[in-house]
Amino acid sequence: MFRGGLKLRERLVLCVSVITVLFTLLLVMDIQMDLGMTKKHLVPSHGRVIAPVQKEGLESAYNSFRNRLLQKTHSGLSTNVSKESLPSETAPLDPKNTNQINVVHEATKEMDNFEDLVDYLDLESHERKKFRVDLFRVHPVVVDDANEKKRRPNPSISEIKKINVESNATTLEKFHMQISKHELYPEGSALVDELLRLMQTEPILHVAQKTGGTQLKLIIDYPNELQALFKPMRFPREQQTLPNHFYFTDYERHNAEIAAFHLDRLLGFRRAMPVTGRLLNMTTELYQRAEGDLLSTFFVSPSDNLCFHGKCSYYCDTSHAICGNPDKLEGSFAAFLPSGKLAPTKVWRHPWRRSYHKRRKAQWETDPNYCQLVRDIPPYDEHRRLYDLMDMSVFDFLIGNMDRHHYETFKLFGNDTFTLHLDHGRGFGKPFHDEISILAPLLQCCLIRRSTLETLIRFHNGPGLKLSEAMRESMSRDPVAPILWEPHLVALDRRVEIVLKGIRDCLQKSEPSEDSNKIEDV
């Protein structure tokens, strides 16, 4: 009885084991040979869908890119960016719709390495064109600027003006003379470091108010004709844009000017003048160096601190005074642009300018084909200008600057020249809100420079530091570091990802056009 029972149980166990082994074998065979018995649920959700037949050679890179891109087609974020945030696709932007952003944050939790974009950049230009033709896109999304960069002549101000730069020229003079047609300074410029050092340490000889613009700015004179544009600190770093302030009534933040210079340099644009922070002594470095109109606005506050308010159209009154703490004042110092005599600038109205009216909307906010219009108008119809506006849109989106009403270029370089990045005092105001409408130029035109896209991918994927880390490191050398409140640094990384998702979205869609037979070369 006892023995027989045991045997029966052994037999049962043996049977179950054999069945299990057989079933496992069957499963393994199914997965290996793709017999289709297991259906989708056995494929891990993050696993790649590999195309059944892949041609070798040239075609395989193309197929690999296509597969990856198409895999992303139904990603929540991608659809979200295109359907709700892109004016070119459907509804106009709704600044009140914070849902757009929330969904973005939800969907970004899983690490996305943008392998589809990386694959796309690896394609040969004819493969990229083929993909574009398949999608009925007339214009390329990614413009290859590498060859153009190598070929283009890049004369400096001194070359154009035929000025011989003497060895005893001042640092700012030398800097002005080397400004070139395509950038303010070359990568790794020692002159930039020297300018920053001088603005931080040289004695202040004279202080005057700068006219023009809406908020208080001072012109600082140092020895050797060095000049800087000073914006005072008004608030602690953590102060956010007041919810009822329009972008055009928002206070300027001195630290935003400093951070914007570092970001512009890290992104490889080099279109912003060098800016540093510095602590000033209110009495000896401001009050004793001021004259006339500015001097008459100095007063002593009830808590015995020296204050001033200057004269300007916004926030230049006793209730918005700038006071020492107790006698120290922090501010940003931007190296002065060349004089109007040496290199006058031309001021351009930004095509994606906001309405600057409490109720009115700008044309780009309601016209889904606005970019097609801009593309045909000089100077946006040739050379680098439209690409520069795309870079500016990325730059402003990263810093949250909605105040780009105009921009400037140096007249002596003509139209095929870089756009200056000036006036970033209204950036870095809302670290917990990503203002997608700032990306409207990029999302409506579906256009980005290859070099900019590669830089963003590098800051997102590595190798090297994340954008927030690179910014933290770059700004750590500033005398008034830390420059940014941590949530702003977190926002930078989050926004890089949003730009990349926007580009992915662009690569997947066709383009509204009257003449879809005309396909531009990359």
Q: Which residues bind Mn ion (CB under 5 A)?
A: 423
> Which residues, at least 6 apart from 272, have a Cβ–Cβ distance to it below 8 Å?
184, 260, 261, 264, 265, 420, 421, 422, 424
Residues 236-262: b if buried by 16+ CB within 10 A, e if exposed:
ebeebbeeeeebbebbbbbbbbbbbbb
Cβ closest to ligand ATP, residue 408 vs residue 469: 408
> Contacting ligand ATP (CB under 6 A), which of 57, 153, 212, 292?
212
Place of tokens 């037999």: 11
The site partner of 422 among Mn ion, ligand ATP, none (C-beta below 5 to 8 Å per kind) is ligand ATP
- Is 337 annotated to bind ligand? yes
Task: Evaluate whether 280 touches 203 at the Cβ level (below 8 Å).
Answer: no
Tokens of 512: 């509204």
- Minimal distance, residue 175 CB to ligand ATP, in Å: 11
Q: Are 325 and 235 in contact (CB under 8 A)?
A: no
Which of the listed partners (ligand ATP, Mn ion, none) does 229 bind, with a CB threshold of 5 to 8 Å by partner kind? ligand ATP
Q: What share of the chain is helix, strand, coil (3-state, %, to 5)?
A: 45, 10, 45
Q: Which residues pair with 142 in a beta bridge?
A: 448
Beta strand residue intervals within 205-337, DSSP E: 206-209, 218-221, 227-232, 275-281, 298-300, 306-308, 322-323, 328-335
Of residues 66 and 309, the one with the C-beta less far from ligand ATP: 309
Tell me the C-alpha to C-alpha distance, in Å, between residue 239 and each of 117, 233, 253, 308: 37, 11, 10, 21
* Sole residue written with tokens 């080099």: 270
403 tagged catalytic = yes
Nearer to ligand ATP, 78 or 401 (CB): 401
Among 118, 136, 144, 213, binds ligand ATP (CB under 6 A): 213
Q: Is 215 annotated as a binding residue?
A: yes
| Selected binder of ligand ATP within 277, 425, 429, 502 (CB under 6 A) | 425
**Alpha helices for 81-209 (secondary structure H):** 99-107, 115-122, 125-134, 146-151, 157-161, 171-178, 190-201
With both helix axes pointing from N to C terminus, report the angle between 171-178 and 190-201 in degrees, rounded to the nearest 10.
140
User: Closer to ligand ATP at the Cβ: 120 or 410?
Assistant: 410
- Residue 335 counted as an annotated binding residue: yes
**Residue 215 interacts with which of Mn ion, ligand ATP, none, CB < 5 to 8 Å by class:** ligand ATP
Question: Which of residues 256 and 412 has its CB atom nearest to Mn ion in the complex?
Answer: 256
User: Nearest Cα to 400, choosing from 427, 425, 432?
Assistant: 427
Residue 252 is assigned to a ligand binding site:
yes
Nearer to ligand ATP, 419 or 508 (CB): 419
Active-site hit among 403, 434, 478, 505:
403
Q: Tell which one of 138, 141, 337, 440 touches ligand ATP (CB under 6 A).
A: 337
CA 412, 418, 422 angle in degrees (round to 5)? 100
The identity of residue 373, as a single letter, is L
Shortest Å distance, C-beta 279 to Mn ion = 24
Q: Which of 125, 145, 121 is nearest to 500 (CA)?
A: 121
Q: Judge whether 379 and 349 are in contact, CB under 8 Å.
A: no
Does 273 sit near ligand ATP (CB under 6 A)? yes
CB nearer to ligand ATP: pick between 273 and 507: 273
The least CB distance from residue 61 to ligand ATP, in Å, is 46
Which one of Mn ion, ligand ATP, none is in contact with 117 (Cβ closer than 5 to 8 A by kind)? none
Least separation in angstroms between CB 257 and ligand ATP = 8
Residues 6+ apart with CB under 8 A from 147: none
Of residues 220-249, those binding ligand ATP (CB under 6 A) = 229
Query: What's at 114, amino acid-wise?
Result: F
Is residue 374 part of the contact set for ligand ATP (CB under 6 A)?
Answer: no
CB of 337 to ligand ATP, least distance (A): 4
The yes or no reply on residue 301 touching ligand ATP (CB under 6 A) is no
- 11's CB contacts (< 8 A; 6+ apart) are none
Least separation, in Å, of the C-beta of 336 and ligand ATP?
4
Q: Which two structure tokens, joined as six digits, stand for 344?
A: 């006058």
Any contact of residue 171 with ligand ATP (CB under 6 A)?
A: no
Tell me which of 104, 107, 198, 422 binds ligand ATP, using CB under 6 A. Answer: 422
Closest residue to ligand ATP using C-beta atoms: 213
Residue 396 vs 423, nearer CB to Mn ion:
423
Q: Are 455 and 267 in contact (CB under 8 A)?
A: yes
Interacting residue ranges for ligand ATP, rule: CB under 6 A: 212-215, 217, 229, 273, 334, 336-337, 408, 422-423, 425
The binding site for Mn(2+) comprises 252, 423
The binding site comprises 215, 231, 252, 334-337, 408, 423
Catalytic residue IDs: 403
The binding site for ATP comprises 215, 231, 252, 334-337, 408, 423
